[in-house]
Amino acid sequence: MQSWQLPEHIADILPSTARQLESAREKLLALFRVHGYELVHPPLMEYSHSLLTRIDAGLSLKTIRVVDQLSGRQLGIRADITPQVARIDAHLLSANNGINRLCYAGSVLHARPDGFLNTREPLQVGAELYGFAGVAADIELIDLMLKSVSVAEFGEILLSLGHIGVFRALADAAGLSEQQSEQLLALMQDKDAAAVRAQVDGWQLDGMWAKAFALLPTLYGGREVLQEARNRLPDLFAVGKALDELQAVCDAFPGRQIHIDLAELRVDNYHTGLLYAAYGSDCHDAVARGGRYDGLGQYFGRARPATGFSFDLRMFIGRLPQSEQTQFIAVAHQDMAEACSAVEQLRAEGHCVVIDYGVEHNGTKNTTRRLKKQDGEWKVIETEMEQV
C-alpha cells in the first residue's frame, strides 16, 4: 500500500473547495447566531457510553471505539453530535431551566458510510432547541433548516414531514413488544403494505390494528394526506395530536411544497415525535434531517423537550457559490527584512501579503499588486502582469 493512500470513503479537501466550505460554515454560524443559537464545541472523543451507543443500535454500529491508554476505559469517536449537545444542555448548562438554543459545526467519524456515495467523515452542522415542548419550536427549527440549505444550490427545496408518534401510538394501543415494533418499522420503509399486513396477521392482531398498520405505508402525498389519515386511522388521542402538529407545520409554511409520509420513520432511536427533512429537486437524498427527541437528556440526568436538525456540509460540495481566491500582494523575499513592518501592517488590515521567492505560489501564476519602495516609503503598486 502506498503511504499516500487514504482509507475508503475518506478524502482530502483541496484549497478551492476548502475555501467554499469554510465560507459556507461562516455564513451558517452567522445565520444561527442572529437567530439566537450559541456555538458549542463538544470533544471529538468521549467515553463510549456517553455517546449513547448502549441505547441506539444504529448509532452504536457507526461508532469507532478505542481503549483509553490513560484509564483503560473504552472511548468512542463521535458519530453524531446531537447526543453530545444533549449532554451539554443536561449537565453543563443545567443551571438554566429555560430555553437553550445551541448550534455546532464539526467533523464526526463513521465506522461505515451511510451509503455508497457517502463519506465516513461528515462535517456535521446543526442547531438544537431545548426547553420548549410546543410545535412552535419545531416550526422555528424547520424555518432555520430551510434557510440553512439555501446557502447552496439544490434546486427547488421540498419539505418532507413525518411523525413517529402516529406509529408509536398504534403500536402501544395494539400491545406490540419493542422487538415487534422494530421489526414492523423496518418493513414500513419499503412501503409494502402487503408485507406489513402479512406480518401483523402472523401476530394475530386485532383487525382494527392490522388494518391501521397496513394503511400507514399508503398515507403519503401532499397536505391532503392529513385529512385522509383523520378519516381512516383509529381515533386515538396521540394520533390526533400528531396530526394536529403536522397541520400546524403545514399552516406555518403556506407557500412551501410539502410532502407528508406517515411511514417515513427512518430515525435514530432517540427521536420521539415530529420528523422533518429538506430534499433538493436534483439531489438523490435528503439535504438535511431533523426532528423532536424529548427526554434524551435523561441519560445525562435531566430530561428536557428538544428539537433540532443537522446535515453534512460536505454534501454541499459542488453546489456552493464559487469562492474567489484571495488577491494577494507580492513582496520580493530580498526586500522582506526592510519591508517587514509595512508587510505586518498590511496583514493587520486584512490584506494577503505573499513573499515572492521567484516561483509559482500555490498554483497562482501572476499578480499585479506588489509592495515596492518608492520615494523612501513602502507602497502597493499596480504593475504589469508578472510571474510569481
Residue 237 phi/psi, 5° resolution? -60, -45
- CB-CB neighbours of 379 under 10 Å: 11
Burial 43-59 (b: 16+ CB within 10 A, else e): eebbebebbbbeebeeb
Contacts of 76 (CB under 8 A, 6+ apart): 45, 46, 47, 48, 50, 51, 53, 63, 64, 65
**Residue 199 and residue 184: Cα distance in Å, rounded?**
8
Please indicate if the annotation marks 264 as binding a ligand: no
* Three-state secondary structure call for residue 24: helix
**Residue 153 and residue 344: Cα distance in Å, rounded?**
38
Please check whether residue 353 is in contact with residue 331, taking contact to mean a CB–CB distance below 8 angstroms: yes
Please check whether residue 272 is in contact with residue 164, taking contact to mean a CB–CB distance below 8 angstroms: yes
Q: For 191, left (φ over 0), alpha (ψ -120 to 50), or beta?
A: left
Could you tell me the strand order of the sheet in which 377-387 lies? 352-356, 328-332, 366-374, 377-387
Please indicate if the annotation marks 124 as binding a ligand: yes
Q: Give the three cell numbers for residue 108.
A: 464526526
Please indicate if the annotation marks 367 as binding a ligand: no
Please indicate if the annotation marks 80 as binding a ligand: yes
Please indicate if the annotation marks 81 as binding a ligand: yes
**Residue 239 and residue 262: Cα distance in Å, rounded?**
11
- CB-CB neighbours of 104 under 10 Å: 24
Please check whether residue 111 is in contact with residue 63, taking contact to mean a CB–CB distance below 8 angstroms: yes
Contacts of 146 (CB under 8 A, 6+ apart): 157, 159, 256, 278
Please check whether residue 290 is in contact with residue 308, taking contact to mean a CB–CB distance below 8 angstroms: yes
Q: Which amino acids are annotated as binding site for L-histidine, given as ranges?
A: 80-82, 124, 128, 266
Binding-site annotation, residues: 80-82, 124, 128, 266
